[in-house]
Structure 1
Amino acid sequence: MFNKAINQYLNKHHYKSISLQSVLFDMDGVLFNSMPYHADAWYKAMNTRGLNMTKEEAYLHEGRTGSGTINIVYQRQWNRQATKEEIEAIYNEKTIEFNKHPLAKAMPGAWEILCKVKKANMTPTVVTGSGQSSLLNRLEENFPGMFRPELMVTAFDVKFGKPHPEPYLMALEKGKLQKNEAIVIENAPLGVEAGVAAGIFTIAVNTGPLDPQVLLNSGANLLFPSIQDLCNAWDELITAFKATPKI
């Protein structure tokens, strides 16, 4: 089932195998069911300032830095970049609105798949465009012992957010990994694009309202309807990585 996608990746990048040592997880929409809260917060923060942005659009911007999202809307509506002060004010308002929501719950299957990753002596790492400290601080609370802070990549670390490959390339650098020694798990089109642009085998999980084809069009090597479905198929997937014929 998975061998075709793996072979296509290997042939495209001229690797003999995927020697999996690390799994790079996006956070919002992958580890936490937080995207509905982000979408609502962006909608309210933007509209308060007369900026037109729907909740649905927020899903398409997922993975960008906050400044990147704000500047897209400013360019579209007012034909200019937002000032530093405007960006700080809007993102602060967005954070306030986000924190009005209940704590986002962990995605079903997230803990189980992390346990499988650790059991196989692989390193799970978070690569997120988020700068929401309320979520970042909850990683250890919800997933104790799973993540090493020094390997994480967040909005505070990068100059270019997703879909630029910088976040995932930085994760490889921090982990001293080659591109064929990790895989990416993403739920957003821009995140998928970032993983693919970084040259890493990228798995999409469609945990939001998007048409699945949007994620495939972004270049996902494989697509699952949820984290739980990916977790259920994990052992089969790892076997396929190990068994795929060498080029």
Structure 2
Amino acid sequence: MKKKLKAVLFDMDGVLFNSMPYHSEAWHKVMKSHGLTLSREEAYMHEGRTGAATINIVFQRELGREATQEEIESIYQEKSVLFNSYAEAERMPGAWELLQKIKSEGLVPMVVTGSGQLSLLERLEHNFPGMFKKELMVTAFDVKYGKPHPEPYLMALKKGGLNADEAVVIENAPLGVEAGHKAGIFTIAVNTGPLDPQVLLDAGADLLFPSMQALSEAWDTLNI
């Protein structure tokens, strides 16, 4: 497959940036302040969903109803404010080295994220200079359905003019792995959080690594 490979599609949080500990902590604390339970580990399971979908799952489970639009907006705003109060997440160890290898092979790196943060482009360019092109990014603004729906990765293929067998996905979240798998793309999982590795395999990962560093070190030997 590597002979055919043209692009590598990267999730952002938990793959390029070590930001998931902050997201999970913010979700946990805000839900607790509303008398609701969302553990830090469960937050990793919901990574890739829209904020509204995550809030609704908790409301249905614990209150037996959907959250109102006002509740969704209020809770998500609180979560965003708390998340933004934490130190800026550093780039994931191994990510820069892997991107350099990919670029040296003439492959195109692309970002496929459920994030809609407006500072995204600036952060990516600051931390990974010259690696990503704006027109080849897929964010929350580009899609109607978030992960685990395959639309984000299908959109990436469309933007890149790619067939599914000309790309690989790198994901850390079960929902992201499921989205890449459903899009028909070879999907590599990196378990950068606290999840049982089997969860990522069950979601459809074709390969599994314990870290981005491990994937970077093994990249040249991969038979994909």
**TM-score bucket (shorter structure):** over 0.9
Deviation at 1:129, TM superposition (A): 1.5
| 1:121 correspondence with 2:106 | yes
Q: Which contiguous aligned blocks of 4+ residues in structure 1 show a shift greater than 6 angstroms? A: none
2:19 to 17, 23, 34: 34
What does residue 187 of structure 1 align with?
Answer: 172
Q: TM-score, normalised by structure 1?
A: 0.86
Describe the SS at the equivalent of 2:97. helix
Q: How many percent identity over aligned positions?
A: 69
User: What is the one-letter code of the residue matched to 2:202?
Assistant: N
List gaps (5 residues or longer) in structure 1: 1-5, 7-16, 242-247
Distance 1:140-1:107 versus aligned 2 partners, 3 A rule: same
Q: Distance in 1 between matches of 2:150 and 2:3?
A: 19
Letter in 1 for 2:73: E
Structure 2: which 5+ residue stretches go unaligned?
Answer: none
What is the TM-score of this pair, normalised by structure 2? 0.94
Match of 1:223 in 2: 208
Do structure 1's residue 93 and structure 2's residue 78 form an aligned pair?
A: yes
CA distance in 2, matches of 1:80, 1:24: 36
The question of whether the paired residues in 2 share the 8 Å contact of 1:18 and 1:180 is answered with no
Aligned twin of 1:56: 41
- CA shift at 1:133, angstroms? 3.8
Mapped to 1, the partners of 2:179 and 2:56 lie a distance apart of 19
Change (3 A) 1:183 1:97: same
1:110 CA drift (Å): 0.4
Cα distance between partner residues in 2 of 1:95 and 1:72 = 18
- Asked whether the 8 Å contact 1:26–1:128 carries over to 2, the reply is yes
- The equivalences for 1:40-189 within 5 A come to 40-135=25-120, 137-189=122-174
Distance 2:77 2:119 in 1: 13
What is the root-mean-square deviation of aligned Cα atoms in Å? Answer: 1.6
Query: CA offset at residue 80 of structure 1?
Result: 2.7
